[in-house]
Amino acid sequence: MKVFTFILSLVLTAPAIASDENPAKTLLHDMATAVHTRNFDASFVVVKGQAMEPYRWLHAKQGDIELEHLSLLNGAGLEMVRVDDQVTYFEPHSEPYSVKTDSIAGPIPEVLFKDIDRLSAHYDFVLGGKGRIAGRSAQLVRIESKDEYKYNYWIWLDTESSLLLKSAYVNHKGEMLEQLQLTHISVTEQPAPMLVEMQNREFPAVLSTNDIASDSDGAANDWKIGWLPDGFKLLKSDRHKLDLNNELADYYLYSDGFVEVSVFIQRPLPGKRASGALSSGATTVYVHNGGSFDVSVVGNIPAMTAKAIAESVARPL
Amino acid sequence: MTKADVNKLDNEQLSALLDGEQQLTDQAITNDDVSTFGRYAMIGDVMRAEANNNAFNFDIADAVAEALEQEPVYADFANKTTAPKSEEIVAATGTDNVVAFNWRRPFAQVAIAASVAMFAIVGVQTLPQNTEAPQNDIPTLQTVPLTGMASPVSYSSEQPALENAQQGLRELQQQRIGALVLEHQRQARVAYSLEESQTADNAEEEKN
């Protein structure tokens, strides 16, 4: 009898395993669906070392249209508004602009709301333990880099609603560098009135991909960027002036689908300068003194990786 | 008697008047310059406030309002249409209540992006000059958020002169890093649009 039950259980569980090859991925897919379909009003904080940024995050699905509003509540602020596949960024000190994309590029990596399967080549998806986050029962899912050149990303999901409750950039020693934690969330039947009102507003016209790719003062010098971790693709390169200090820079944007890395090559600053790294949470700025030029690498990557990228930059032949 | 002496004498009278040591006469009032009167009144307020531990009323609202008037407006989305395309929209509809870009942007005029403030450098560590330093020995320039008071930079006592000279350079570098971080954040926002258009391009190439 025991043998029979055993065989029966094998027969019953085998198809389940086959159809559901990675429960961690399934949970992330559920999360993406939940974030895109639910009406919710949430508050979260992002803790970067000693600094902390509070945000408010509202989302609604009104018929076929998705409405989303994310705003940074401290300091000069930052407002991000999404009406379906158009995201508008309102920043202090500059004019608002819109981008055609169906997720806001805020403190949560955008890819989590999209197709995470394309990360499979360079990241593993692992189920972690269960815990209690923001007063709710949560399941940990770890997105782990396959090499040591990138950070891992841990996400705690609400076991009931599948919504995100907490996330963190974690280095390879297991230390949390930057944490995002929901402090409150309410899921409602009706969309928030503020979001509904948003539908009637007009926002700046969407920048075309051509505009994005060439908001420049010409092509970048043909710098040779010798090394990047596996999986990083060049998305754009140009030469343009930086907004804040009007300095000219040759600019390269890379992404592996999860994190973006910017490489800037600029005229050197006067004086004897040391190369070095700066960090705030998971974001690293590595400034490399290349002699007749300065290379700066910015991104959510370990300082070691940024250093290696910066030092691999060579003059065009 | 020179002009300066006259003024001095007047002020003595005024001071005495405010302290209640002299009677108020018509002549005294006409002599009193209004602003001087105000200043003396404030000095008196301060001294008395100190005595009975009350805050005195220091009214700078007018001055602030005046200063604000002179301030450049950084992000007045309401009065200014931005993208040329949106200008067309305004022209087409012809009503001025349609376009309101200042959607919930009451704080837009605060000067600096918070994201940049996060990266203020407090101390720059120097890198050992030998390049064979062990790989994981990256000098980290410590950062401190600008919320609250930045702690004073601890200068090495050995080379104060050099440190002073480097101060200007440090500011330049700080500015540059702020600009780089802001630029990175902005560029990262369009990463997905770019990626999608690239994949679309590739798909088309494969078709052809």
Q: Please check the confidence at residue A126 and state whether its pLDDT lies above 60.
A: yes
**Cross-chain residue pair A276–B125, CB shorter than 8 Å:** yes
> Cα separation of B109 and A128, whole Å?
44
pLDDT of residue A35: 93
Sheet holding A294-299, edge to edge: A233-241, A248-255, A260-266, A294-299, A283-289, A276-280, B140-143, B121-123
Helix %, strand %, coil % of chain B (to 5): 55, 5, 45
Using a CB–CB cutoff of 8 Å, tell me whether A248 touches chain B.
Answer: no
Q: Which residue has the higher pLDDT, B174 or B10?
A: B174
pLDDT of residue A163: 93
**Cross-chain residue pair A79–B118, CB shorter than 8 Å:** no
Which tens digit of pLDDT belongs to each residue from A245-269?
888 999 999 999 999 999 999 998 8
- How far B56 CA lies from chain A's nearest CA (Å)? 30
> Cα separation of A182 and A46, whole Å?
9
Which positions in chain A touch B109 (Cβ < 8 Å)? Answer: 92
pLDDT of residue A274: 76
**Cross-chain residue pair B169–A260, CB shorter than 8 Å:** no
Model confidence band, residue B179 (pLDDT cutoffs 50, 70, 90): confident
Q: Please check the confidence at residue B158 and state whether its pLDDT lies above 50.
A: no
**Cross-chain residue pair A304–B75, CB shorter than 8 Å:** no
**Cross-chain residue pair B193–A285, CB shorter than 8 Å:** no
Q: B179 and A244 in contact (C-beta within 8 Å)?
A: yes
Of A74, A249, A286, the CB nearest to B114: A74
Beta bridge partners of A284: A279, A299
Using a CB–CB cutoff of 8 Å, tell me whether A190 touches chain B.
Answer: no
What residues 5-44 of chain A have any CB closer than 8 A to a CB of chain B? Answer: none
Q: Please check the confidence at residue B114 and state whether its pLDDT lies above 70.
A: no
pLDDT of residue B69: 63
Which positions in chain B touch A48 (Cβ < 8 Å)? Answer: 118
Which positions in chain A touch B100 (Cβ < 8 Å)? Answer: 201-202
CB-based burial, B152-180: b 16+ in 10 Å, e otherwise: eeeeeeeeeeeeeebeeebebbbbbbbbb
pLDDT of residue B163: 58
CB-based burial, B194-206: b 16+ in 10 Å, e otherwise: bbebbeeeeeeee
Among A159-163, A216-220, B58-62, B101-105, the minimum mean pLDDT is found in B101-105
**Cross-chain residue pair B147–A53, CB shorter than 8 Å:** no
Using a CB–CB cutoff of 8 Å, tell me whether A49 touches chain B.
Answer: yes
Q: What is the mean pLDDT of residues A4-24?
A: 58
**Cross-chain residue pair B191–A307, CB shorter than 8 Å:** no
The phi, psi pair for A184, rounded to 5°, reads -160, 140
Which of A124-138, A259-273, B112-126 has the highest mean predicted lDDT (pLDDT)?
Answer: A124-138
Q: What is the mean pLDDT of residues A221-237?
A: 91
Which positions in chain A touch B114 (Cβ < 8 Å)? Answer: 53, 72, 74-78
> Cα separation of A24 and A162, whole Å?
12
Which positions in chain A touch B145 (Cβ < 8 Å)? Answer: 50-51, 280
Which positions in chain A touch B181 (Cβ < 8 Å)? Answer: 283, 285, 298
DSSP assigned state of B108:
T
- How far B61 CA lies from chain A's nearest CA (Å)? 22
- How far A2 CA lies from chain B's nearest CA (Å)? 54
- How far A304 CA lies from chain B's nearest CA (Å)? 7
The phi, psi pair for A186, rounded to 5°, reads -130, 130
Q: What is the mean pLDDT of residues B147-168?
A: 48
> What are chain A's domains?
23-200 (2.50.20.10), 220-314 (3.30.200.100)
The phi, psi pair for B113, rounded to 5°, reads -65, 135
**Cross-chain residue pair B177–A89, CB shorter than 8 Å:** no
Using a CB–CB cutoff of 8 Å, tell me whether A87 touches chain B.
Answer: yes
Of A90, A99, A201, the CB nearest to B193: A99
pLDDT of residue B23: 62
Which positions in chain B touch A49 (Cβ < 8 Å)? Answer: 143
Q: Which residue has the higher pLDDT, A103 or B87?
A: A103
- How far A94 CA lies from chain B's nearest CA (Å)? 6
Q: Quick one: closest CA in B to A70, which residue?
A: B104
Here the ipTM equals 0.87
pLDDT of residue B173: 77
Q: A179 and A205 in contact (C-beta within 8 Å)?
A: no
Which residue shows structure tokens 């309410």?
A: A186
Q: Please check the confidence at residue A311 and state whether its pLDDT lies above 60.
A: yes
Beta pairing, strands A276-280 & B140-143: parallel
Model confidence band, residue B197 (pLDDT cutoffs 50, 70, 90): confident
Single-letter code of the amino acid located at B10: D
Of A72, A245, A269, the CB nearest to B169: A269
Model confidence band, residue B164 (pLDDT cutoffs 50, 70, 90): low
Of B82, B113, B178, the CB nearest to A92: B113
**Cross-chain residue pair A255–B103, CB shorter than 8 Å:** no
Which tens digit of pLDDT belongs to each residue from A135-177?
899 999 999 999 999 999 999 999 999 999 999 999 999 999 9
pLDDT of residue A254: 95
Q: Which residue has the higher pLDDT, B86 or B185?
A: B185
Q: What is the mean pLDDT of residues A186-190?
A: 91
Which tens digit of pLDDT belongs to each residue from A17-75?
444 578 999 999 999 999 999 999 999 999 987 788 999 999 999 889 999 999 999 87
Which tens digit of pLDDT belongs to each residue from B3-57?
555 555 556 666 666 666 666 666 555 555 666 666 666 677 666 655 555 554 5
pLDDT of residue B38: 66
Q: Quick one: closest CA in B to A200, which residue?
A: B98
pLDDT of residue B79: 45
Beta pairing, strands A65-72 & A51-62: antiparallel
